Amino acid sequence: GARELAGYLAALAGWVAGLAAAVLPQWRQSSYAGDAIITAVGLHEGLWMSCAAQSTGQVQCRLHDSLLSLEVHIQTSRALMVISLLLGFFGIIVSVVGMKCTKVGEQDPVTKSRIAVSGGVLFILSGLCTLSAVSLYATQVTYEFFRESTIPINARYEFGSALFVGWGAASLSMLGGSLLCCSCPAKECRGQQYHQQPQPSTAREYV
């Protein structure tokens, strides 16, 4: 039960972090590397909007105009993050039903174990989708950073904080899903159920 609860809390934290990563606009940010002057405007871009932060503290954000005009890696990352959040949402519901510390659903330990494992698989798939989305976006940022050799370094883009939040979310989701999958195998539950059955009496009665 403790292992299931730890896995569920880790996966839930990973889902919340994945939701924050999907919403944050800091998937890539303007670089301040190099020996050039630090610009007064910091640019941030995410999956849904782009923002400009002034040195005075004002931040202006603008949603992406058209879905079809976006680059392929942004559209792909969007789709993967949406799928990841949906899988994690269903994983939260299924895991609550299958955990031994809850009284929801079937009381059969074997059935609850299988439901918990299903929730763990959903969390693992959710983490893989988040990992794929973040890694794909990071690969494109790295490629553009080193490809545009004619542009000054401080005018290029580098990794934003949302990428690191996404990597952490993927790790937590996959860790929590793995703990749920390993919490109580079906064979172990069958063995426990078998040993709990009353044994027939072998004593002989003498008349």
- 183-195, pLDDT tens digit by residue? 655 455 444 444 4
Q: Are 10 and 3 in contact (CB under 8 A)?
A: no
pLDDT for the residue 39: 56
Is the pLDDT reported for residue 65 higher than 80?
A: no
Residue 201 lies in a domain: no
Give residues with Cβ within 8 angstroms of 162, minimum separation 6: 20, 21, 24, 25, 26, 27, 46
Structural domain containing residue 3: 1-25+71-183
Q: Is residue 147 part of a domain?
A: yes
Over residues 90-109, the mean pLDDT reads 77
What is the C-alpha to C-alpha distance for residues 28 and 146, in angstroms, rounded to an integer?
Answer: 15
Q: Which of 30, 72, 29, 66 is nearest to 48 (CA)?
A: 66
Q: State how many domains the chain has.
A: 1
Has residue 12 been placed in a domain?
A: yes
Mean pLDDT of 10-24: 93
User: Domain for residue 81, yes or no?
Assistant: yes
How much is the pLDDT for 166? 94
Q: Where are the alpha helices (DSSP H) in 62-108?
A: 72-98
Residues in the chain: 207
Residue 88 lies in a domain: yes
| Spatial distance between the Cα atoms of 150 and 189, rounded to a whole number of angstroms | 64
In a domain, 58, yes or no: no
Region 146-161: what's the mean pLDDT? 75
More confident site: 149 or 185: 149
pTM of the model: 0.79
CA atoms within 13 A on the CB side of 51: 19
Can you give the CATH number for the domain in which 91 is found?
1.20.140.150
Phi, psi of 182 (to 5 degrees): -95, 5
Token couple for 66: 């058209």
Please state, rounded to an integer, the average pLDDT across all residues of the chain: 80
Percentage of residues in the chain having pLDDT higher than 90: 33
